[in-house]
Amino acid sequence: MEILSKLSERLRELMEERELRSETLAKAAGIAGSSIRSWLRGASVPSFESAVKLADFFCCPLDFLAGRSENCETVTPKTLPPFYPRLRAIMAEAGVTRFRIAKETQIKDAFFTNWARGEKPLLVTLCVLADFLNVPLDYLVGRIEY
């Protein structure tokens, strides 16, 4: 999966710039060290919460962290709005239904029900949604206004 290698590369780059080891980053960002090592190996993808914690720690855009953009302008951490209502508002702006997203992507309709119940998507799913809706990841999750 391409996002795994891009994320691994970006995370390694950001850690090297600050001369951080995985355990130091883990403690500072509030993430398990084993998770960070897994991401560095490209063996797994962060959850929504972990991706935001990493981006907040490095004050970088989620799109940069995920390798979707070369833009590394500073993004100030802030409290995020609930994901599902935010997604629904962006879908309404775009004139897109959940059924269309399910039909035209690999995102199952059941995911929307789970998100309405408070679950959050993985970073990979966020990337698919952002691509489909043609918006930055940070806008999708409420870290920036667009």
Write down the domain spans for the chain: 2-65, 83-141
Task: Please tell us whether the domain made up of 83-141 is placed in CATH 3.40.50.410.
Answer: no
What topology does CATH give the domain 2-65?
A: 434 Repressor (Amino-terminal Domain) (1.10.260)
User: In this model, does residue 1 exceed pLDDT 80?
Assistant: no
Q: What is the pLDDT of residues 39-93, one digit of tens each?
A: 999 999 899 999 999 999 999 999 999 999 998 999 998 999 999 999 999 999 9
- For residues 97 and 90, the answer to whether their CB atoms sit within 8 Å is no
Orientation angle between helical segments 123-133 and 83-94, nearest 10 degrees: 20
Cα distance between residue 108 and residue 43, in whole Å: 23
Q: Roughly how many angstroms between the first and final C-alpha of the chain, as a whole number?
A: 28
Burial class (CB in 10 A: 0-12, 13-18, 19+), 99: exposed
Entry pTM? 0.91
